[in-house]
Structure formats: structure tokens, C-alpha cells
Amino acid sequence: QVQLVESGGGLVQAGGSLRLSCAASGRTFSSYAMGWFRQAPGKEREFVAAISWSGITTYYADSVKGRFTISRDNAKNTVYLQMNSLKPEDTAVYYCAASPPSRLRDLRGPYDYWGQGTQVTVSS
């Protein structure tokens, strides 16, 4: 079992930056692939970014490529999402997810474990 807790969300003006963190419990964190997803009001949850267990491979949605960076610190059991040049359309609840690589079709999912989410609001 893995428990995930997101933090770092908030209100920011367009063009600003935020860094989300996802702290994971469990000794198996370093062997899990990690992903970030988001869900805006009235929309389906969508993939944002993911990182392999080693941190060597990353994958991004086209909508955030060049603006967001995913990283991980296995010593701290934490994955990060650095979000720069934020736009109002980035407003959503952001969720962290984890899964053993063997359970994934690819880095976009499907993921087994989910956090509760953290709200990101970008004002224009």
C-alpha cells in the first residue's frame, strides 16, 4: 500500500509559478512510477506528467510541455511538479498517482494509488 499526500497548491496570477509536492508513504516508493493528473470543474481528469521509478524517463502532456517539470527525490519519498508560466486554463485540482511499473500500460497509466488532490487556481 502507498499513501500519497499532495501539497503546494494555491492561488497565483497568470505567468506565475507554483511547485507541487507529493509525499508518499511506504518503502516501495523508489520502485514506483509516479504521475500527476488534473481535473478542472466540469471536465474529466487528464494526464499532466509522469516519471519513471529511476527518474530517467519523463513524459508530459502537450499542453504543459516546456512549462512544467516533474522530478522525484527517492530519498525523501517525494515527487514534485514545478509549474511555470501558469495560465488560467491550468486551474484544476491536481492529483498525484503511483503504480508499480508492471501495472502500467505506459507512463500515462493506469495508476493504482491516488492522493486527495490540491487545488491550483490561476487568475487572469
Q: What is the pLDDT of residues 18-30, one digit of tens each?
A: 999 999 997 788 8
Residue 1: what pLDDT?
A: 81
Name the band, by pLDDT with cuts 50, 70 and 90, for residue 51. Answer: very high
Q: For position 26, what pLDDT does the model report?
A: 79
The pLDDT value recorded for residue 99 is: 94
Per-residue pLDDT reduced to its tens digit, 73-108: 999 999 999 999 999 999 999 999 999 989 999 999
The percentage of residues in the chain with a pLDDT greater than 70, rounded to a whole number, is: 100
Q: What is the pLDDT of residue 85?
A: 98
User: Has residue 66 got a pLDDT over 80?
Assistant: yes
Question: 3-state class of 24 per DSSP?
Answer: strand
Q: Is the dihedral of CA 22, 27, 54, 51 positive or negative?
A: negative
Q: How far apart, in whole angstroms, are the C-alpha atoms of residue 78 and residue 89?
A: 26
Looking at residue 64, its pLDDT comes to 98
* Average pLDDT of the chain to the nearest whole number: 96
Percent of the chain scoring above 90 in pLDDT: 90
Please say whether the beta carbons of 26 and 99 come within 8 A: no
